[in-house]
Amino acid sequence: MKKFRIIIYLLIVNFSSVYGQHIGNIKDSDGYTNLREKANSKSRIITSIKLEEEFYYESNNSSNWSKVQFKNFIGYIHNSRIQSIDSITNQISTFYLEYFKTKKSNVELNETYNEKLFKLSKIYPLATITSFCNLESDNQDFLIRQFESPISDMIELKKTYKKLLDYETYCSESNRIINAFEYSAKNIGIELNKELMNYERKLDSISKSYLSSNKITVPELLELIPKTHNQFSLLYSTTGPDHILYDTNFFYDTTRMIFEQVTTEKNEIFYLPSLMLSSYADGEFAETFIEYLELIIKIDSAKFCNSVKGKKYTNSNPIKYYYELNNCE
């Protein structure tokens, strides 16, 4: 999981270096800005960028428009609608220092500052982490106590936490904010499952790639294999009517391809993960999963026995059934 977040950060740094670009957010009272195909206000709108979404931009001294890359889109936004990550970081740093100096006896002001603290972290997660990492330790300690004690019930802890995870490895202190969110969520009965959220993020990214290219790479297949029932539920949710992949065969295609990495491609890396996947056999897809499991066992039953011995899923069907059937003990 850490490797995944490090890659995200490196991509940000490398992209900025290659294109001479900066990271930015929009600045618009409407809460969104249009990304246009060309550098003029009458050009075709490619997509819209919301206040809470970060993008990369390249300024041009001879133009009032900046070239922008947002997700898989490249277009233009007027400079008046862009604020740089450096500018936002400076503003947040100033706010942090003001908050630190407030009189603790002023309850009303402290509540206002606390609400603003969480609002800024939701809208500007990278600037939040960056500003925090540059603070003195006593200022950091103060902010952590505030992150652990949200005042408002309206704070979207889960949504903000998910964004902050992208920058968990930004600096050695950034994980303190992540831990503070976990602590505050636990105190109000909310579960923040880091592994589940990382899986959800990978699934979302691969889903969008699949929609645009109708292809799944071998590394993506490996990342898709769920390690828990909750992760598998997310994968299976792609068949639901509210999911963007509802009208595709994403779930069935990807699970088939995972099994075939073992049965057809003889890819050893997928052997144990495919057994884990087969352990979730249930419902309408159960027969297909079991058929592949039987084929894997048929190829080498002794290997199957040795591979699942001691695993948690050995005590539940269908693995338990075939473990006993093949006299694995």
Q: Which helix (H) or strand (E) holds 14?
A: helix 2-19
Predicted confidence at residue 301, as pLDDT, reads 95
pLDDT at residue 38 greater than cutoff 60:
yes
List all residues 6 or more positions away from 145 whose beta carbon is below 8 Å from its beta carbon: none
Predicted confidence at residue 20, as pLDDT, reads 54
Residue 156 confidence class, pLDDT cut points 50, 70, 90: confident
Q: List, for residues 64-77, the tens digit of each pLDDT value.
A: 999 999 887 899 99
Predicted confidence at residue 252, as pLDDT, reads 93
pLDDT at residue 215 greater than cutoff 90:
no
pLDDT at residue 313 greater than cutoff 80:
yes
pLDDT at residue 293 greater than cutoff 70:
yes
Q: List, for residues 180-202, the tens digit of each pLDDT value.
A: 999 999 888 888 888 998 898 88
Predicted confidence at residue 166, as pLDDT, reads 86
> 124 with 62: CB under 8 angstroms?
no
Across the beta sheet with 55-58, the strand order is 45-50, 32-36, 73-78, 65-70, 55-58, 22-26, 82-84
Instruction: Look at residues 143, 220, 148 and name the one whose alpha carbon lies nearest to residue 182.
Output: 148
Count of residues in the chain: 329
List all residues 6 or more positions away from 71 whose beta carbon is below 8 Å from its beta carbon: 47, 208
Instruction: Report percent pLDDT > 90 for the chain.
Output: 65
- Total-model pTM: 0.68
Predicted confidence at residue 220, as pLDDT, reads 93
Q: Which of the 8 DSSP states describes residue 47?
A: E
Residue 123 confidence class, pLDDT cut points 50, 70, 90: very high
